[in-house]
Amino acid sequence: METVIETVSPEETFEVGRQLGLLAKPGDIYTLKGDLGVGKTVFTQGVAKGLDVREHVNSPTFTIIQVYDSGRFPFYHFDVYRISDIEEMDEIGYEDYFFGDGICMIEWAELISELIPQNAKAITIEKNLQKGFDYRKITIRS
Ligand code: ADP
Ligand code: MG
């Protein structure tokens, strides 16, 4: 199934994320794809809000994974951009997160595609400058 949602402000993208967070269940895995500055962090902050996460959420720039424990379920935010060898995922014990009791959001999942479970839902955020500077198209495939 594919759902397409169009937004024209960061607040709207945050709200789409929040709605997803409200519906997310333990074991859910989402991949999140989109160019720099497209709104991945805004979206992820909305997901965290929907999960009642109280900590501030930002891009996990210097760590592969950021764990937020204050919400209804654990929220695992991955950015695997700096992974140079797939074994680094074993070293961080990724299976405990992927097959655990929380919700996973994975940026740059294409770099570890062989590890991504079949049931993962793929989220893509894209700009279209012909539709305006703040336009975003959010596609969710499940
Ligand atoms: P990323 O994490 O993908 O690099 P960020 O979420 O950090 O991107 O930044 C997105 C930027 O785009 C923010 O400055 C935000 O205010 C701006 N923006 C403008 N329109 C939108 C929109 N419709 N949805 C999300 N962000 C938007
Ligand atoms: Mg970001």
- Residue scoring higher pLDDT (84 or 4): 4
- Residue scoring higher pLDDT (108 or 63): 108
User: What pLDDT is stored for residue 106 in this prediction?
Assistant: 97
Ligand with an atom nearest the CA of residue 66: 2
pLDDT at residue 60 greater than cutoff 80: no
d(CA 94, CA 67): 12
d(CA 131, CA 129): 5
Pocket residue to mutate for ligand 1, from 7, 18, 42, most atoms within 8 A of Cβ: 42
Q: Does pTM surpass 0.85?
A: yes
d(CA 121, CA 66): 19
pLDDT at residue 135 greater than cutoff 90: yes
User: What pLDDT is stored for residue 63 in this prediction?
Assistant: 86
Q: How far is the CA of 82 from the centre of ligand 2 (A)?
A: 14
Amino acid at 23: L
pLDDT at residue 57 greater than cutoff 80: yes
How do strand 2-7 and strand 136-141 relate by DSSP bridges?
Answer: antiparallel
pLDDT, one tens digit per residue, over 33-47 is 999 999 999 999 999
The pLDDT confidence band at residue 62, using thresholds 50, 70 and 90, is confident
Q: Is 66 in the pocket of ligand 1 (CB under 6 A)?
A: no
Mean pLDDT confidence for 45-74: 94
- Mean of all residue pLDDT scores within the chain: 96
User: What pLDDT is stored for residue 49 in this prediction?
Assistant: 98
Ligand with an atom nearest the CA of residue 38: 1
Ligand with an atom nearest the CA of residue 34: 1
Mean pLDDT confidence for 23-27: 97
Q: Which atom of ligand 1 is nearest to the CA of 134?
A: 20
User: What pLDDT is stored for residue 61 in this prediction?
Assistant: 72
Q: Which two tokens stand for residue 104?
A: 């996973």
Judge whether 77 and 49 are in contact, CB under 8 Å.
no
Nearest CA to ligand 1 atom 14: 37
User: What pLDDT is stored for residue 20 in this prediction?
Assistant: 98
